[in-house]
Amino acid sequence: MTKKPASVRVLRGVLRPWWRLTRGLTLGAQGVVIDENSRVLLVRHGYRPGWFFPGGGVERTETLTSALSRELEEEAGVILTAPAALHGVFANNENFPGDHIAVFLVREWQRPNVPAPGMEIAEQDFFALDALPGDTSGGTRRRLAEIFDGAPISEKW
């Protein structure tokens, strides 16, 4: 999979507000990448504060799983070696009315290369559940509680 040039990613960022005004629904795919020590991979974006699961928007010609695969490789160098399991689909109305995020559990993967920090992803690391960064997003924390602590699954991000 080839990484999109920086100019395409910047243009996408500039156009995102327009898309949200003109589309009734947006859809994203995020992966909860879990390592052999039950740590989770989180990323910190260069354009917003906090730590999140790697992932991004589903393009017009993509399926949820192909978008997940593309985003994991672009953002974190993670390549799926088996299908990811769908955890749930969540309405993210705080971000944008009509935004939905599909969250997948990623347990079988490889990472031959770790992308260097850049404008989109400033940092990435694996964290133990009891050592998450203080500014880990609320939605990320809620999904982790559902997955690892048996918290009830919510329909809202």
Q: pTM of the full predicted structure?
A: 0.85
Q: How confident is the model at residue 43 (pLDDT cuts 50, 70, 90)?
A: very high
Distance CA 134, CA 141 (A): 10
Q: What is the pLDDT of residue 7?
A: 64
Q: For the chain, which residues make up each domain, given as ranges?
A: 6-149
Bridge-based pairing of strands 121-127 and 55-57 is: unpaired
Q: How far apart (Å, rounded) are the C-alpha atoms in residues 120 and 100?
A: 21
Q: How confident is the model at residue 9 (pLDDT cuts 50, 70, 90)?
A: low
How sure is the predictor about 94, in pLDDT bands with cuts at 50, 70 and 90?
confident
pLDDT tens-digit profile of 111-133? Answer: 999 999 999 999 999 999 999 99
Q: What is the structure's pLDDT at 2?
A: 52
Q: Using CA atoms, how far apart are residues 38 and 47, in angstroms rounded to an integer? A: 28
Q: What is the CATH number of domain 6-149?
A: 3.90.79.10
pLDDT of residue 23: 61
pLDDT in tens, 46-92: 989 999 999 999 998 999 999 999 999 999 999 999 999 999 999 99
Residue 97, pLDDT score: 81
Show the CA angle centred on residue 43, arms to residues 47 and 8, nearest 5°: 50
Which pLDDT does position 12 carry in this prediction? Answer: 65
